[in-house]
């Protein structure tokens, strides 16, 4: 699930507030903290640690945004020309026909990069998990208007997948930084899992709402990789972070 009792978030007033919210979120006595408050206090702490006051938490997701652009470009190509052609574009033609788990694990580092920092690792993990879902549900052939198994929330499956990736990356970052506090407060494994599932669902819904505020969706892989893609991804993530916080 991504929690780690060996990892603790940085110190400071806002981080103490975020860890306190994480404990109260899963405290058996139900301290009244909801998913939005937990996420908001985390985003505030992350923004304070970014070193770039103007961007806040957005600055902590630069590599994630680049991975999102690459993902959008690949997804758009796969939907338009078929999965085999999109894999060939990346120099991975031999992946076609492999099990979804193999494809997801091989694709994630190509799209998200192979850095060893926390953000890169979170981006790869989040993307691999989402790719596994997509590759398990969709056809390798180009999509048409009468057949789309993934049931995206907008007219653009690629855009919906990118938005889902951004929400998943925020969730994974939060769990890595605050997971120890949540584990400490949980009454048991089932209680912890239920709390994490609720948090993930809330962030996914916030991401879907943020997608509606984005500018025009990039129309081609080239646009996804260029300025239009960077602007779209940034605006969606900005809207997501805005929906999360602030929390008084």
Query: What is the rounded distance in angstroms from the CA atom of residue 126 to the CA atom of residue 6?
Result: 20
111, 67 contact by CB (below 8 A): yes
- Show the tokens assigned to 231: 């602007």
Q: What is the mean pLDDT of residues 25-49?
A: 82
What 92-99 contacts at long range (C-beta under 8 Å, 24+ apart), as own/partner pairs, is 96/140
Distance of CA 194 to the CA centre of its chain: 19
Residue 45 lies in a domain: yes
Q: Tell me the mean pLDDT in the region 86-112.
A: 94
In a domain? residue 224: yes
Residue 221 counted as domain residue: yes
Confidence bin at 49 (pLDDT 50/70/90): confident
Q: Does 90 reside within a domain?
A: yes
Name residues whose C-beta falls within 8 Å of residue 55's C-beta, 6 or more positions apart in sequence.
Answer: 47
Tokens read off for 151:
């049931």
What is the signed CA dihedral for 13, 16, 22, 23, rounded to 10 degrees?
-140
Residue 24: enclosing H or E segment and its boundaries?
helix 13-26
Domain for residue 173, yes or no? yes
Q: What is the pLDDT of residues 51-97, one digit of tens each?
A: 655 467 898 999 999 999 999 999 999 999 999 999 999 999 999 98
Q: Are 214 and 235 in contact (CB under 8 A)?
A: yes
Task: Please compute the mean of the pLDDT values over residues 39-59 and round it to a whole number.
Answer: 80
Residues 26 and 38: their CA atoms lie apart, in Å, by 10
Q: What's the rounded mean pLDDT across residues 5-25?
A: 79
- The number of domains in the chain is 1
Q: Is residue 228 in a domain?
A: yes
Query: Where residue 48 falls among pLDDT bands split at 50, 70, 90?
Result: confident
pLDDT band at 232 (very low <50, low <70, confident <90, very high): very high
Domain extent, residue 196, equals 13-244
- Is residue 74 in a domain? yes
List pLDDT tens digits, range 156-208: 899 999 999 999 999 999 999 999 999 988 888 998 999 999 999 999 999 99
Q: Is 182 inside any structural domain?
A: yes
């Amino acid at each position: 699930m991504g929690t780690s009792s060996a990892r603790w978030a940085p110190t400071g007033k806002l981080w103490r507030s975020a860890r306190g919210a994480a404990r109260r979120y899963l405290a058996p006595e139900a301290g009244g903290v909801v998913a939005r408050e937990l996420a908001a206090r985390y985003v505030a702490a992350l923004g304070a640690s970014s070193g770039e006051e103007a961007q806040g938490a957005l600055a902590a997701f630069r590599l994630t945004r680049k991975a999102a652009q690459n993902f959008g470009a690949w997804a758009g190509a796969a939907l338009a020309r078929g999965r085999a052609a999109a894999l060939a574009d990346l120099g991975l033609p031999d992946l076609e026909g492999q099990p979804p788990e193999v494809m997801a694990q091989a694709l994630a580092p190509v799209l998200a990069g192979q850095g060893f920092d926390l953000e890169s690792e979170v981006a790869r993990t989040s993307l691999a998990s989402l790719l596994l879902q997509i590759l398990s549900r969709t056809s390798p052939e180009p999509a048409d208007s009468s057949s789309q198994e993934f049931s995206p929330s907008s007219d653009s499956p690629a855009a919906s997948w990118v938005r889902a990736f951004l929400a998943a990356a925020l969730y994974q970052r939060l769990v890595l930084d605050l997971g120890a506090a949540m584990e400490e407060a949980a009454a048991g494994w089932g209680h912890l899992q239920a709390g994490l599932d609720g948090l993930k669902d809330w962030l996914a819904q916030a991401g879907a709402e943020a997608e509606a505020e984005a500018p025009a969706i990039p129309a081609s892989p080239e646009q996804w990789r260029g300025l239009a893609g960077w602007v779209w991804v940034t605006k969606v993530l900005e809207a997501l972070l805005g929906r999360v916080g602030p929390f008084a």
